Amino acid sequence: MSELNVILLGPPGAGKGTQAERLQDDFHLLHVSTGNMLRAAVEEGTELGRKAKAYMDRGELVPDDVIIGVITDRLQEEDAQDGFLLDGFPRTRPQAEALEKALDDLGRSLTAALLVDVPDDVVVRRLSGRRVCQKAGHPYHVDTNRPKHDNVCDIDGSRLIQRDDDREETVRKRLEVYNEQTAPLIDFYDERGLLRRVDGTRTPTEVHDHIRATLATLRLEDEI
């Protein structure tokens, strides 16, 4: 069976995390989270983990070369041999170029870069409309998942609040960063014939069905 090596692209609020969880089950892919990998490397005390810890302890961003090194180490483990799913990395063109070289050195390559495409105004509505209850964090939305009584959790009766990172001004700032730093990767992967677009405004199930069919077709084409 050919491996599936996939990157998930898309703005904050596109639903990439939800799709990553479903695709793991569909194709038995390793879900590569750079944050989790860095924490694991630090806990294990690997050479790269010690380097990363030094930056993290100083409150600095871990350099790209260290992150790529951690990813490269992880992708050589047994559970990554059938493929992997990268969500949240790369975020910039230099990171994408470094990842491309690292995979080439391993004799591997990307199968596809899946773009869950959602317009900015939809992202703002999705994220700024989210509410959670104070007691247990049960999720609601002012448009699509309203409580029975305004601002009161149906489950535990606690007050609903808007998290700071869901405030409209914060969401728009996150979108600015995405459009400036990460959106250029759309052209980067399109030029390489790897980009596959998915309409992220559809329901999560419809998005999942589209992605699953796309990846199944790519795997079949590779095996023919």
Q: Which of 16, 74, 125, 196 is catalytic?
A: 16
Main-chain phi, psi angles of 206, to 5 degrees: -65, -40
On the question of pLDDT at 1 being above 70, the answer is: no
Assess whether 91 carries a catalytic annotation.
yes
Main-chain phi, psi angles of 219, to 5 degrees: -65, -40
The Cα-based distances of 106 to 3, 102, 148 in angstroms read: 14, 6, 54
Q: In this structure, are strands 139-141 and 112-117 parallel, antiparallel, or unpaired?
A: unpaired
Q: Which of 74, 125, 126, 130 is catalytic?
A: 130
**Contact yes or no for 115/214 (Cβ under 8 A):** no
- Bridge partners, 160 (sequence order): 133
Where is pLDDT greater, at 57 or 96?
96
pLDDT for 51 equals 86
Structure tokens at 31: 């879900």
- Compute the distance between CA of residue 155 and CA of residue 178 in angstroms, rounded to an integer: 35
pLDDT for 125 equals 95
Q: Which of 39, 53, 91, 172 is catalytic?
A: 91
- For residue 217, is it within any domain? yes
Assess whether 167 carries a catalytic annotation.
no
The vertex-105 CA angle with 102 and 110, nearest 5°, equals 60
Assess whether 146 carries a catalytic annotation.
no
Residue type, 111: T
pLDDT for 18 equals 87
Split into its structural domains, the chain has a count of 1
- Compute the distance between CA of residue 67 and CA of residue 92 in angstroms, rounded to an integer: 13
Assess whether 50 carries a catalytic annotation.
no
Model confidence over 157-195: pLDDT tens digits?
A: 999 999 998 999 999 999 999 999 999 999 999 999 999
Residue type, 129: G
pLDDT for 119 equals 96
On the question of pLDDT at 37 being above 80, the answer is: no
- For residue 20, is it within any domain? yes
pLDDT for 87 equals 86
- For residue 161, is it within any domain? no
- For residue 103, is it within any domain? yes
- For residue 91, is it within any domain? yes
Q: How many Cα atoms occupy the beta-carbon half-sphere of 193 within 13 Å?
A: 2
- For residue 53, is it within any domain? no
Assess whether 159 carries a catalytic annotation.
no
pLDDT for 224 equals 59
Where is pLDDT greater, at 124 or 28?
124
pLDDT for 96 equals 96
- Compute the distance between CA of residue 219 and CA of residue 182 in angstroms, rounded to an integer: 26
Task: Indicate which CATH number applies to the domain containing 203.
Answer: 3.40.50.300
pLDDT confidence of 62, banded at 50, 70, 90? confident
Which residue range is the domain that position 217 belongs to?
4-29+82-118+181-223
- For residue 153, is it within any domain? no
On the question of pLDDT at 147 being above 90, the answer is: yes
- Compute the distance between CA of residue 175 and CA of residue 27 in angstroms, rounded to an integer: 30
- For residue 43, is it within any domain? no
Q: Which of 163, 167, 173, 192 is catalytic?
A: 163
First to last CA, the chain: 11
Q: Which of 174, 197, 202, 219 is catalytic?
A: 174
